């Protein structure tokens, strides 16, 4: 069985079928792209596999365990962690504290430890690790910046840093380069590459930006109107008629 | 239970349901438009009773005129709530709710200082005597409440479905953003909602004034019940509030007849908690809170 | 201000405050001392309420939880005749269990629905007290709760709690203990995960925080301390009834927390302190007082929604703005 596998996943909102019978298999260490025009159902797909929504039917397995229907925090504990399309962060905390909160799974946070003062961000081990993650993502200078004072690009980077701090095996990124300038995009692409190469994390990447996906992914799954339209290597996808039409059609309707 | 007890219970339940409906409909209107949750809805009810006390008992106006005047007078208090409390806290339901609790304190004190705190105001009923139906008796004063409610709720229904301002109010309750795009003024609509909300509470209190003890603190139990009803009925749904009011009226009357009113209140609040927990949108609701 | 000098300031000022409270019985009249005791109990109550608010869950049943602690104390001390060192922990645990029973269903709701549902459950409990004369005493409540006792006359460790000074110190110890524990929690990683739930629930859940479990846990810890406050209150005033734990008291608790703010640990302390002082100073207003407090509540919610704790930042911001305006204009 694959590391991460989706079988016939379907989600309906009343009459609207946001995901229809989607299946895919992702191997450990892969960077998989999931693309599709606006409203294709990509975010819905993430919400399903990360436990935010309960699927109407179908099954998701991760490391051999069925995770569909599980609570989000349980899935995160198993090691499948997602980020959000919107910038999501704890605005009242500094960058380092944000990362530090996200580390809570791997610390001894408990009520008793809190009361006897044995549980805080200044524990040497976890602090070291939090700094490592922040620096790794190129945010060393901003360690003590309040999260809501970061630039848009850095806010998104912080989102990835927090997901990483939970020490995931599968990282699901929802449009990580959305709204970034080309310089920031390049940094993020480089970072995702490193996350896989250095930490061995499997990556599931939802993206609009074709170039980013083509550069990064070994294999791409294309969604359109909630259905799986195509799957294959970047070259396959680039030359796939159905995909080209879907994107052209979408572009027509958008512009 | 004999037939007469059953008839008596039904009659009591209809009257109680009517009062509940009048109070709860006001609460639902306010909540429907921009989620104005008025903690002090009961104090508006109390104000309605005091309008009758002042105009009818003290100044000797005709009772029905006092009841009718209670609508605009208490509606103005509602409008003041909107301007001074709900508009500045718009977007934060809890803040508006808490601030309106403060306004309730103020109303209680003003009324208490003007007309006395401890003393209960007994108001002579203008319609002594009562009707006898199959062995059950019901006073004319109580009997009046049922048709009054029917008239008020029908009037409201007409206003909301046939009159332009009413239709705008409904549009605003359904989708404020779309309503604003259509050129409806949000501020006017929240003001209108609170006018109606206050007016209904005021008339409810005015009609009940000769039946219940009138004190500055009389509103609390009615507010609790109104919240139970509105939540069971689906927060912003006026139909829901009316139906839930009569359901609650029946439950309360039956439990109070079989046991006592404390138990009846317990059943009510427990019912409300269960509905909120199992179906936070209310039994007939569509608005998510 | 650097971090270390800030903590020095903090240490010094807390020492001054503690010194005042230790010296207080020699400084104020017996009547004032009782007020001070109630004040300390209110500090516990407000601080435990703030703990709930850290996850974004404001409740309308905190006074009821305090009542549960008080009733448990009344029943255990008077009817079962148990000594305080058994009564108080049992009262706290009983309150915690009731909190758990509240929290499990309530955790299914959020925001306003949570607030109102907590009110419904609270009213239910208050009506249970009203309805059942045994053991709650109905509307009259429980009278003649025995004074707290340590030892007996003649024994060397005997402390006579008929002397209100001794009960004052007893309360002071528990208040300080509560503050230390809640401060530790506030500064802990666990405390931060709770605050993170308030900031962004979805994000918290996505990084593995069990939001439901956390909210239940906060509710229970908060209830535990509300129970402690109730237990102390029952010993202090000696008789309790359902009116001690009504909506008016609940609104005052909300006023403290709104006036002070709940974001920082100091907010509720500022709130209780300033409002208690104003409460005493406005005693001549008599029956007009609730109107004043209603007005304060409205003014704060409308004009300073973060409470007094955000005032320095507000002023700084204002000064800054006028400063730059002058600069450009
Ligand atoms: N909670 C929901 N309730 C109802 N409909 C929804 C819900 N979430 C998504 N949808 C609908 O499902 C469809 C797919 O939405 P989704 O957000 O998954 O698209 P997407 O591929 O992520 O789009 P984008 O590229 O714009 O982010 C859309 O038509 C959307 O309106
Ligand atoms: Mg999306």
Closest alpha carbon to B142 in B15, B14, B8: B15
pLDDT category at A122 given cuts 50, 70, 90 is low
ipTM confidence score = 0.90
**Separation of alpha carbons A127 and B10, rounded Å:** 70
Nearest Cβ partner for A166 among C189, C193, C208: C208
Say how many C-beta atoms besides its own lie within 10 A of residue B65's C-beta. 11
pLDDT category at C2 given cuts 50, 70, 90 is low
Q: What is the pLDDT of residue C6?
A: 66
Ligand 1 atom 9 nearest Cα: A44
| Pair A232, A247 in one domain | yes
Is-contact C76 C82, C-beta < 8 A? yes
**Separation of alpha carbons A12 and A1, rounded Å:** 27
pLDDT category at A254 given cuts 50, 70, 90 is very low
- CA C18 vs CA C136, C169, C272: distances in Å: 37, 12, 16
Determine the residue of chain A that is closest to C199 in CA distance: A90
| Pair A102, A39 in one domain | no
The CATH number covering residue A39 comes to 3.40.50.300
In which element (H, E) is residue C318 found?
helix C311-328
Judged by a CB distance cut-off of 8 A, whether residue A97 touches chain C is: yes
Contact B277 C106 (CB under 8 A): yes
Neighbouring subunits of A (3+ Cβ pairs under 8 A): C
pLDDT tops 70 at residue B283: no
**Separation of alpha carbons C187 and C174, rounded Å:** 20
Which of these three, A115, A144, A166, is where a domain ends? A166
pLDDT tops 60 at residue A251: no
Q: What is the pLDDT of residue A159?
A: 93
- Find the mean pLDDT for residues C62-71: 97
Contact A120 C196 (CB under 8 A): no
- How distant is the Cα of A51 from the closest Cα of chain C, in angstroms? 9
Judged by a CB distance cut-off of 8 A, whether residue A109 touches chain C is: yes
**Which residue ranges make up each domain of chain B?**
3-123+133-218
Supply the range of the domain harboring residue A133: 88-166
- How distant is the Cα of C171 from the closest Cα of chain A, in angstroms? 20
pLDDT tops 90 at residue C165: no
| Mean pLDDT over the full length of chain A | 87
Determine the residue of chain B that is closest to C118 in CA distance: B273
Which residue, chain included where needed, has tokens 């409740």? C59
- Find the mean pLDDT for residues A22-39: 92
Nearest Cβ partner for A90 among C196, C206, C208: C196
Q: Report phi then psi at A66, rounded to 5.
A: -75, 125
B278 against A60, higher pLDDT = A60
β-pairing verdict for A219-224 and A227-232: antiparallel
Contacts of A83 in chain C (CB under 8 A): 206
Lowest mean pLDDT among A239-243, B70-74, C62-66, C90-94: A239-243
Looking at the 3D structure of chain A, how many domains does it have? 2
Atom of ligand 1 at shortest range from CA of A85: 27
Is-contact A140 C210, C-beta < 8 A? no
Judged by a CB distance cut-off of 8 A, whether residue B87 touches chain C is: no
Q: What is the pLDDT of residue B55?
A: 93
Contacts of B280 in chain C (CB under 8 A): 108-110, 113
| Pair A105, A75 in one domain | no
Contact B269 C123 (CB under 8 A): yes
| Pair A12, A74 in one domain | yes
Maximum distance among all alpha carbons in chain A?
64
**Separation of alpha carbons C294 and C279, rounded Å:** 12
- Find the mean pLDDT for residues B6-35: 89
Q: What is the pLDDT of residue C1?
A: 45
pLDDT category at B102 given cuts 50, 70, 90 is very high
B64-90 confidence digits (pLDDT tens):
999 999 999 999 999 999 999 999 999
C205-251 confidence digits (pLDDT tens):
999 999 999 999 999 999 999 999 999 999 999 999 999 998 889 99
Is-contact A62 A7, C-beta < 8 A? no
Closest-lying ligand to the alpha carbon of A174? 2
A153-174 confidence digits (pLDDT tens):
889 989 999 999 999 999 999 9
| Pair A199, A246 in one domain | yes
Residues with CB under 6 A from ligand 1: A 13, 16, 18, 36, 38-44, 85, 208
CA of A44 to the centre of ligand 2 (A): 7
Q: Report phi then psi at B214, rounded to 5.
A: -100, 110
Ligand 1 atom 23 nearest Cα: A39
Q: In 3-state terms, what secondary structure has residue B131?
A: strand
In which element (H, E) is residue A215 found?
helix A210-216
**Separation of alpha carbons C227 and C222, rounded Å:** 9
Contact C184 A117 (CB under 8 A): yes
| Pair A160, A173 in one domain | no
Judged by a CB distance cut-off of 8 A, whether residue A72 touches chain C is: yes
pLDDT category at A253 given cuts 50, 70, 90 is very low
| Pair A72, A180 in one domain | yes
In which element (H, E) is residue C98 found?
helix C84-106
Q: Report phi then psi at B125, rounded to 5.
A: -75, 140
Contact A73 C210 (CB under 8 A): yes
- Find the mean pLDDT for residues B25-39: 89
Which of these three, A166, A191, A222, is where a domain ends? A166
- Find the mean pLDDT for residues C52-81: 94
Q: What is the pLDDT of residue B288?
A: 36
pLDDT tops 60 at residue C326: no
**Separation of alpha carbons A165 and A126, rounded Å:** 10
Say how many C-beta atoms besides its own lie within 10 A of residue A97's C-beta. 20
| Pair A172, A161 in one domain | no
Contact C120 B266 (CB under 8 A): no
In sequence order, which ranges of chain B are alpha helices (DSSP H)? Answer: 3-32, 41-52, 63-81, 93-115, 140-162, 164-174, 176-181, 186-208, 219-233, 238-258, 261-278
Q: At what angle do helices C3-27 and C164-187 cross, to 10 degrees?
A: 170
**Separation of alpha carbons A146 and A102, rounded Å:** 16
- Percentage of residues in chain B with pLDDT exceeding 70? 94
Ligand 1 atom 26 nearest Cα: A38
Atom of ligand 1 at shortest range from CA of A47: 18
Which residue, chain included where needed, has tokens 């929690």? C185
Lowest mean pLDDT among A222-236, B121-135, C45-59, C219-233: B121-135
Q: What is the pLDDT of residue A123?
A: 65
Q: Residues of C numbered 255-284 whose beta carbons fall under 8 angstroms of chain A's beta carbons: which are they?
A: 263
Q: Report phi then psi at C78, rounded to 5.
A: -90, -55
| Pair A104, A211 in one domain | no
E strands, C23-157, in order: none
User: What is this structure's pTM?
Assistant: 0.90
- By most ligand atoms within 8 Å of CB, the mutation choice from A39, A46, A84, A224 for ligand 1 is A39
C310-320 confidence digits (pLDDT tens):
888 888 888 88
The token pair at C64 is: 């009821």
pLDDT tops 70 at residue A191: yes
Maximum distance among all alpha carbons in chain C?
79
- By most ligand atoms within 8 Å of CB, the mutation choice from A11, A15, A40 for ligand 1 is A40
Which residue, chain included where needed, has tokens 């109680």? B16
Which of these three, A114, A148, A166, is where a domain ends? A166
| Measured CA angle at C241 (ends C235, C243), to 5 deg | 120
B116 against A174, higher pLDDT = A174
Contact B277 C251 (CB under 8 A): no
| Pair A176, A248 in one domain | yes
Contacts of C208 in chain A (CB under 8 A): 73, 76-77, 81, 104-105, 166
pLDDT category at A255 given cuts 50, 70, 90 is very low
| Mean pLDDT over the full length of chain C | 89
Q: What is the pLDDT of residue A252?
A: 44
The residues, any chain, with a CB within 8 Å of residue A146's CB and separated by 6 or more, are: A91, A92, A93, A94
- Find the mean pLDDT for residues C177-200: 92
Strand partners for A230? A222
Strand partners for B139? B130
pLDDT tops 60 at residue B284: no
Contacts of A100 in chain C (CB under 8 A): 189, 192
Strand partners for B133? B136
pLDDT category at C3 given cuts 50, 70, 90 is low
Q: What is the pLDDT of residue A55?
A: 93
| Pair A69, A100 in one domain | no
C117-131 confidence digits (pLDDT tens):
899 899 999 999 999
| Pair A250, A180 in one domain | yes
Rg of chain A (C-alpha set): 19
Contact C190 A111 (CB under 8 A): yes
């Amino acid at each position: 069985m694959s590391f991460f596998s989706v079988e016939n996943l379907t989600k309906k909102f009343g009459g609207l079928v946001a995901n229809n019978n989607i299946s895919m298999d992702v191997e450990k260490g892969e960077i998989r792209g999931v693309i599709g025009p606006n409203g294709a159902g990509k975010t819905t797909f993430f919400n399903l596999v990360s436990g935010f929504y309960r699927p109407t039917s179908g099954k998701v397995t991760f490391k051999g365990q069925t995770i569909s229907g599980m609570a989000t925090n349980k899935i995160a504990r198993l090691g499948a962690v997602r980020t959000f399309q919107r910038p999501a962060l704890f605005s009242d905390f500094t960058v380092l504290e944000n990362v530090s909160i996200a580390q809570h799974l791997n610390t001894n946070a408990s009520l008793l430890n809190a009361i006897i003062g044995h549980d805080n961000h200044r524990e040497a081990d976890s602090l070291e690790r939090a700094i490592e993650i922040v620096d790794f993502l190129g945010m060393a200078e901003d360690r003590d910046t309040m999260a809501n004072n970061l630039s848009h690009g850095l806010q998104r980077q912080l989102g990835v840093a927090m997901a990483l701090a939970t020490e995931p095996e599968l990282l699901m990124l929802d449009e990580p380069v959305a709204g970034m300038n080309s310089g920031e995009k390049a940094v993020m692409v480089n970072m995702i590459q490193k996350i896989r190469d250095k930490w061995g994390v499997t990556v599931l990447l939802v993206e609009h930006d074709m170039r980013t996906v083509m550069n990064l992914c070994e294999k791409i799954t294309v969604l359109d109107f909630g259905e799986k339209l195509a799957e294959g290597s970047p070259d396959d996808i680039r030359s796939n008629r159905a995909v080209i039409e879907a994107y052209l059609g979408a572009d027509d309707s958008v512009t | 239970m004999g037939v007469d007890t059953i008839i008596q219970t039904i009659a009591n339940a209809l009257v109680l349901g009517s009062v509940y409906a009048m109070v709860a409909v006001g609460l639902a209107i306010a909540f429907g438009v921009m989620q104005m949750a008025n903690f002090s809805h009961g104090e508006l009810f109390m104000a309605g009773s005091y309008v009758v006390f002042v105009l009818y008992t003290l100044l000797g106006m005709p009772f029905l005129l006092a009841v009718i005047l209670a609508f605009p007078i208490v509606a103005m208090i509602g409008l003041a709530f909107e301007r001074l409390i709900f508009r500045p806290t718009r977007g934060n339901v809890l803040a508006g709710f808490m601030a309106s609790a403060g306004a309730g304190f103020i109303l209680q004190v003003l009324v208490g200082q003007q007309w006395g705190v401890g003393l209960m105001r007994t108001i002579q009923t203008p319609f002594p005597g009562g009707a006898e139906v199959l062995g059950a008796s019901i006073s004319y004063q109580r009997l009046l409440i049922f048709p009054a409610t029917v008239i008020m709720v029908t009037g409201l229904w007409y206003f909301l479905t046939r009159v332009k301002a009413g239709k705008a109010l409904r549009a605003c309750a359904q989708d404020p953003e779309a309503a604003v795009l259509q050129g409806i003024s949000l501020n006017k609509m929240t003001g209108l909602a609170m006018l109606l909300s206050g007016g209904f509470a005021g008339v409810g209190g005015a009609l009940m004034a000769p039946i219940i003890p009138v004190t500055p603190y009389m509103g609390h139990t009615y507010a609790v019940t109104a919240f139970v009803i509105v939540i069971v009925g689906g927060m912003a749904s006026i139909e829901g509030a009316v139906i839930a009011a009569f359901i609650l009226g029946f439950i309360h009357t039956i439990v109070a007849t079989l046991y006592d009113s404390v138990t009846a209140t317990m059943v009510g609040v427990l019912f409300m908690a269960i509905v909120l927990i199992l179906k936070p949108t209310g039994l007939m609701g569509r608005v998510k809170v | 201000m650097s971090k270390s000098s800030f903590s020095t300031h903090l240490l010094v000022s807390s020492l001054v405050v503690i010194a005042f409270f230790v010296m207080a019985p020699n400084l104020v009249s017996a009547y004032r001392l009782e007020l001070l005791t109630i004040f300390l109990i209110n500090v516990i109550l407000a601080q435990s309420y703030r703990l709930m608010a850290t996850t974004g869950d404001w409740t309308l049943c905190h006074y009821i939880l305090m009542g549960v602690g008080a009733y448990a104390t009344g029943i255990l001390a008077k009817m079962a005749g148990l000594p305080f060192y058994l009564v108080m922990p049992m009262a706290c645990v009983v309150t915690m269990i009731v909190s758990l029973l509240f929290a499990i269903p309530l955790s299914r709701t959020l925001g306003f629905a949570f607030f109102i549902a907590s009110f419904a459950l609270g009213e239910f409990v208050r009506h249970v007290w009203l309805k059942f004369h045994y053991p709650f005493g109905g509307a009259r409540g429980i009278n003649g709760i025995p004074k707290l006792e340590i030892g007996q006359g003649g024994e060397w460790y005997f402390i006579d709690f008929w002397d209100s000074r001794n009960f004052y110190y007893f309360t002071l110890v528990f208040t300080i203990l509560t503050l230390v524990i809640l401060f530790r929690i506030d500064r802990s990683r666990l405390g931060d995960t709770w605050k993170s739930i308030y900031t962004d629930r979805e994000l918290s859940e996505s990084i593995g925080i069990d939001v439901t479990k956390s909210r239940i846990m906060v509710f229970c810890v908060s209830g535990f301390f509300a129970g402690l406050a109730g237990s102390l209150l029952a010993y202090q005033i000696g008789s309790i009834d359902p009116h001690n734990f009504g909506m008016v008291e609940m609104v005052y608790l909300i006023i403290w927390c709104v006036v002070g703010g709940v974001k920082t640990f100091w907010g509720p302390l500022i709130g209780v302190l300033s409002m208690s002082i104003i409460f005493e100073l406005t005693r001549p207003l008599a029956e007009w007082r609730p109107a004043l407090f209603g007005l304060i509540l409205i003014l704060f919610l409308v004009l300073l929604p973060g409470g007094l704790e955000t005032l320095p930042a507000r002023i700084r911001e204002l000064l800054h703005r006028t400063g730059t305006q002058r600069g450009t204009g």
